Amino acid sequence: MTHKLLPVAAAILVALTSYNVAAESGTDVLTDGWEVNGYGSMNYRMVEGETIDTEYGKTDYLTAGTHGKSTNQVEFVIKKHTEFQNGVWSNFVVRSEFGNGNSYAYTSSGSQKENDTAQFEVKETYIEIGAIPFLGQDTSIWAGQRYLNRAAGLLSGEFWKQSSGVGAGIQTKLAGNTAGFAVVSADPDAGSADSYSIGDCEKDDGTPSTDPNDCKVNKNGAAERTTLTSADFYYYGVEALGGSFDFDLKFMSQANKDSNSDSGIGASITYNRDYYGLDGWTQTAIAYGEGVGQNRGVNFGGWSGGDDKAKSIFFTSYGVLNISENWQMGSELTYFAALDQLFGADDLVRYLAAVRPSYKVNDNLRLEMTASYGHEEGKEGYWGRTGDSVESNIINLEIASVFTVNADYFGRPQIKPYVSYIKADDEASADRIGIKNGDSEVIVGIHSEIWF
Amino acid sequence: MTMIKTTLAAILAVTLIGCASSPSSSIEKNVAVTKQVCCASYSEFSWVPMQGSKIDFTIDDYSQVGEFPEGKSYFAAFALPANVQRMQVDLSSWMRTTGVLAPKIILLNSSFETVDVVGLDDFEVEMGGMFSLASYQHRFEMDLATTPYMVVYSPQEYRKGEIQIPHPERIRAEDLGLARPMVTDPVIQHQKFGSLELGLKPLNLRSYRVTETVVAPVTAIAATLVPATAANKAADAKMLPETEAFYNTQIKAAVGKNDMHKALQLLEEAKRAGSSSAELTFVELIKK
Where residue A405 falls among pLDDT bands split at 50, 70, 90? confident
Give how far A65 is from chain B: nearest CA, Å: 14
Q: What is the pLDDT of residues A97-142, one digit of tens each?
A: 988 888 888 887 765 555 556 678 899 999 999 999 999 999 999 9
Of the ranges A360-364, A419-423, B35-39, B43-47, the best mean pLDDT one: A419-423
Q: Chain A: residue nearest B138 by CA?
A: A31
| CB-based contact, A39 to chain B, within 8 Å | yes
Contact B179 A153 (CB under 8 A): yes
Residue-level pLDDT at A357: 96
Summarised one tens digit per residue, pLDDT across range B152-208 is: 999 999 999 999 988 888 888 988 888 888 887 888 999 999 999 999 999 988 887
A323–B contact, CB cutoff 8 A: no
As a whole number of angstroms, the distance between CA A379 and CA A405 comes to: 50
Determine contact, residues A404/A451, Cβ cutoff 8 Å.
no
End-to-end CA distance of chain B: 101
The mean per-residue pLDDT over the stretch B16-42 comes to 70
State the pLDDT at residue A191.
Answer: 64
Contact A451 B168 (CB under 8 A): yes
pLDDT score, position A317: 97
- Inter-chain residue contact A362 with B23, CB threshold 8 Å: yes
Q: Residue A235, SS3? A: strand
Identify the weakest region by mean pLDDT among A401-410, B241-250, B277-286.
A401-410
pLDDT of residue A25: 65
Q: Could you give the percent of chain A with pLDDT greater than 90?
A: 65
Separation of alpha carbons B186 and B181, rounded Å: 14
The pLDDT score that the predictor gives to residue A371 is: 97
Average pLDDT of the residues in A51-71: 88
**Residues from chain B contacting residue A157 (CB–CB below 8 Å):** 178-179
Question: Which pLDDT does position B6 carry in this prediction?
Answer: 56
Give A260: exposed, middle or buried? Use CB within 10 Å, 0-12, 13-18, 19+. Answer: exposed
Measured in angstroms, the CA of B38 and the nearest CA of chain A are apart by 33
At a CB cut-off of 8 Å and minimum separation 6, what does A113 contact? A119
* Residue B213 in this model has a pLDDT that exceeds 60: no
Average pLDDT, chain A: 88
Angstrom distance (rounded) from CA B168 to CA B134: 10
Name the residue in chain A with its Cα closest to that of B134.
A408
Instruction: Please give the pLDDT value at position B190.
Output: 94
Whether residue A29 lies within 8 A of chain B, CB to CB, comes out as no
Q: Cβ(B279)–Cβ(B266) under 8 Å?
A: no
Residue B21 pLDDT > 80: no
* Whether A37 and B130 lie within 8 Å, measured CB to CB: yes
pLDDT band with cut points at 50, 70 and 90 for residue A225: confident
Nearest CA in chain B to A362: B24
- As a whole number of angstroms, the distance between CA B248 and CA B251 comes to 5
Confidence of residue A429 (pLDDT cuts 50, 70, 90): very high
Q: What is the pLDDT of residues B78-87, one digit of tens each?
A: 999 988 999 9
- Higher pLDDT: B28 or A231? It is A231
**pLDDT classification of A24: cutoffs 50, 70, 90:** low
What does DSSP say about strands A299-300 and A159-174: parallel, antiparallel, or unpaired? Answer: parallel
- From chain A residues 44-63, the ones with a CB under 8 A of any chain B CB are 46, 48-49
- Taking 80 as the threshold, does the pLDDT of residue B119 lie above it? yes
Check CB contact under 8 Å for A361 and B178. Answer: no
As for the ipTM of the complex, it is 0.76
Interface mutation vs chain A, best among B6, B92, B165, B182, most A CBs within 10 Å: B182
What is the C-alpha to C-alpha distance for residues A98 and A78, in angstroms, rounded to an integer? 15
- Give B-chain residues touching A17 at CB under 8 angstroms: 145
Question: Does the beta-carbon distance from B1 to A9 stay under 8 Å?
Answer: no
- Which chain A residues contact residue B260 at CB under 8 A? 5, 8-9, 12
- In chain B, what percentage of residues exceed pLDDT 70? 80
More confident residue, A223 or A158: A158
Residues of B in Cβ contact (< 8 Å) with A36: 129-131
Q: Name the minimum distance, in Å, from the CA of A283 to any CA of chain B.
A: 9
Contacts of B11 in chain A (CB under 8 A): 401, 417
Separation CA A157–CA B279 (nearest Å): 72
> How confident is the model at residue B228, as a pLDDT?
41
Please determine, for residue B287, whether its predicted confidence score (pLDDT) is greater than 90. Answer: no
Tell whether the model's pLDDT for residue A2 goes beyond 50: no
Q: What is the DSSP letter of B287?
A: H
- In sign, the C-alpha dihedral spanning A344, A346, A347, A351 is negative
- Are B130 and A38 a contacting pair at CB < 8 A? yes
CA of B68 to nearest chain A CA: how many angstroms apart? Answer: 31
CB–CB contact A452 B203 (8 Å): no
Answer whether residue B16 shows pLDDT above 80: no
Asked if residues A403 and A7 have their Cβ atoms less than 8 Å apart, the reply is no
Lowest mean pLDDT among A168-172, A253-257, A401-405: A401-405
Confidence of residue A182 (pLDDT cuts 50, 70, 90): very high
- The predicted model gives A336-357 an average pLDDT of 95
Best mutation target among B184, B185, B195 (most A Cβ atoms within 10 Å) is: B184
Query: Would you tell me the crossing angle of helices B260-272 and A2-18 to the nearest 10 degrees?
Result: 60
Q: What digits encode the pLDDT tens for the residues B221-267?
A: 444 333 344 444 444 456 777 778 888 888 888 888 888 888 888 88
Window 398-437 of A: residues touching B by CB (8 A cutoff) are 399, 401, 403, 406-412, 417, 419
CA–CA min distance A392, chain B (Å)? 27
Q: What is the mean pLDDT of residues A63-78?
A: 87
Q: Which residue has the higher pLDDT, A197 or B115?
A: B115
Altogether, the residues listed in chain B come to a count of 288
Contact A147 B23 (CB under 8 A): no
In this prediction, residue B260 carries a pLDDT of 81
Q: What's residue B238's pLDDT?
A: 64
* Stated pTM of the model: 0.76
Q: Is A32 on the interface with B (CB under 8 A)?
A: no
Question: How far A410 CA sits from the closest chain B CA (Å)?
Answer: 7
Calculate mean pLDDT across residues A262-286: 96
Half-sphere exposure of B97 (CA within 13 A, CB side): 13
What is residue B25's predicted lDDT score, i.e. its pLDDT? 47
What pLDDT shows up at residue A193? 66
The Cα of B273 is separated from the nearest Cα of chain A by a number of Å equal to 18
Length of chain A: 452
Tell me phi and psi for residue A179, to 5 degrees. -125, 140
CB contact under 8 Å between A451 and B8, yes or no, is no
Q: Which of A154, A156, A323, A443 to mutate to test the interface with B (most CBs of B within 10 A)?
A: A154
Nearest CA in chain B to A407: B97
Q: Closest approach of chain B CAs to the CA of A196, in angstroms?
A: 37
